[in-house]
Structure 1
């Protein structure tokens, strides 16, 4: 989980009020005595300062944040861009917010770069491995495997069921010529077979599919449309020189049609190419999308999973790659799509037990969930491929030892739904940052890392919220409420329970004569050692005061400067007085009438902590006393 230090105050908007009452009366009378109220909008002040040419990481951060939480991503990205130009050290959450803002305004490449930087700042490779191992253990033990009686002493793998027939690939009639090439390249002289089924049982002797599907080359991995009349399958292809050299085998997906009990009219699909392989077809429930595996040029690994839309007339659309970390630098193969729109596939590039392991990913409208290893006994230290499941029953192929042949098909029963392993509870309470009161009826928005809203819920009367999400996905949790600045947190994948307590800051705060603008607007004036001139960073802070006073011409300010206890008392008094007058001169020079200002140095006479003469204190403690105050006058 991200450290809670990543949570910080957003832009604060304050209400200033004053009247003719004395400072002594203000505590007793409170807000009710100040009917003449003026409003100081901090964000307006910051924007005026920034647009006047002054640069400050704090200004840009606050401007970016307030627009981000109000979903004005165009302005948010503008000010975050300025923030990142400041070359200051930023917390990881800033990279995430900037990424989302950029994505929302169409700058996908920049958004991707910022998100990758965010991941680099939060990534812990050792923890990722531990989390993956823990998930594998949780997923294990949910299956009972049984080898099929139809397995031969050769190779049997792949499966699909159509019209009460079990269809698979086998070398049973070509054992003497059998030569294994690789799990990716397929197997020489394999043909497609079918065996009748009765209920869940396979009966009778397997026979070859009728028609022109089986050839002198090998055919594998069939996938059928829901009406059972169209079949997609893999066949090895001649190399461009017209020869079929096993060292340079290319694979293609073909489409066949069932006519009078025979598979004919074989089609070479548009996604194929003589210079790379295309294999392992799989169809979604609606038969509108074809998934497949390829080592086409855009692959990031040895083989990747892709998909392509199937148009009503049978033509194929634009090839798209699977996103969200499904494909790796290794091999992803044998996709299978369930009736519930879930993807199972085999891979040797993700954390697993060895060889090909089977993984699961939930398919969303336009994205894919993070992959989950389905664990043992489906997976082993060997190659486990061609996973298929329906209503908690299915088949898996494997070359694990103690089988009848080189590769065998196993049936299995799933005893616990895999979706149970994907549930993660996000919960927490929302409080008022200042008063610590619970905040009922606060809007909680859960988005993915692309800023797509997953859900919007409300906190209950105790300020509590909870929601179940995908355990393998990262989320951003945002809390917003009218009259308050929002809060957000990055919710990292991998935890069964994710507690995120959020705090809201009131937009406006009632203040009265005697209050210090420096505290309200987070103003800190720094001077060089033994100097009283205004530094460039101090000028940015004073510009906030100028902007406030220009907006409210009735306001009068008393500038008070202080030092720490180190050094001669008289000298500190003179130095602080000089600094206060320098601040006053700067404000006057920016167009504020002198009659509205007064200034004085107090040296070390008004320390705010224990750090008196001869008391040891840290530099941070001394810094608390080196301050400037800007007190509102009656």
Structure 2
């Protein structure tokens, strides 16, 4: 009887072993096909039957790749208990602890990783420093930053990468959608996550009013069979760049597929074209970001020759419309780790995510500025914008100065994260924060040109006045008409440009509200001063048959006052004209009264009476002849009924001109 029971036990053990072996074999197949979601469940069932270290290692890896942070930590702890001699087990356990915000325990795990491994001391110390830095941030969070979930777009699925487009935003999501290209019963799921593939969605929105519409699929035309995500637009929004994925078998991987990324672009919503440097059998390219004019494209790739796992690259479009050679963005921005998800604010400020710097865990968001073609000045965004989990795809929608501190700037916008308070795998978050200025000095530059001829004007005097300090500085444009004026951030300036025989140009400029750096570039045109050339004043109205100036006319007359103050050397005649209807003598007298009324208004605004005279012309100088058999329409009568000014003399004695 005992021998019989022993046989039953042996048979049961063999059946259990065969069942476990079959599950592991199937799980390995799923793992090799990148289906980590289903592989994880199979490995768990196999581990119930056969508790081996190799199965534990695969469970930990599946949890890691599917971002199941709490399960990752739990299974990694079991792996340490089962095999406490393998230094890599301490590394993955430390990573899991860090993703769960347990920095003290993570630091200990990283210490043991360095102790038990050969040649990994620097990496161990680097990871421990990240734990110390993260602890400091979480214990002393910056009070100038606020973060909240954008609930209207949050689902149990992955929602990320909000990007401005027309009257709303586009974003990427693996939420279910109404497929039109295949049968509803054949909807494909992504084996890696167990959810649908990513698609690009559009939602109308006015964030200032907290108004959001219902998301819809952006375009069946752009969205592909597998992942389609990460849209980027040029400023005119007539060209879109985005990333698609494909599973491919390469000569190196054989029957084991790899997931590769490619960039596609569409101009004027024509058929999407592949990016010139796609090379799906060799490497991935993705995460596009484009400059405002669409002539420089930044992208991420894991091609050989970089600084780490994935680096940020760029290429420029030539005059022939073709992309030129690509270049690595350099060691100022790329590390031994992964750099991902670049976004541009203007053309000289980049936000990106990296796991290759001292951070809080996973991908952290950083900011860099470009100076003379080189990316540098990398600054980490602090907690609570960065978290122990992945933080990425930050976009700025509003920038403003900080009145009490000119060296700071306030940003508002959105970013994406899979932190623990998210409703799904990834969520979109709104943020505000105050951080150091992107640069200590702006340069307002351009070219001064004749408005009529388009030719450059040289040696223009440029007077810049800081309105807070009342300090003025004078510059001149060069012999090509080019100018470059340094300005401080968070300042209100008055900029006056003058040249003999040209009307002066004045503008107010605020360096605290510039979202794009290239907005500081402007070509300025100047109207030449031509003696006795009449210049019409628009929107000058009088009460019927009277010389009283209406309130609607005052804004235009204030412009005339401004011109005379900016050009104190000019002597002006103000001319008033009537239409051709009515008695000539009556019209002449009425027009003289109207001209004098304008003169009185201008003098009342502080212009010396010696600089302006008024003359009524009645109907003696019509623009359109309405007499002698010609009948005029009301529109033509309105053209004749006008108020004009002309420069009759330019004084060279500026001291006398102001009297």
TM-score using structure 1 length: 0.42
Larger RCO (alpha carbons 8 Å, 6+ apart): 1
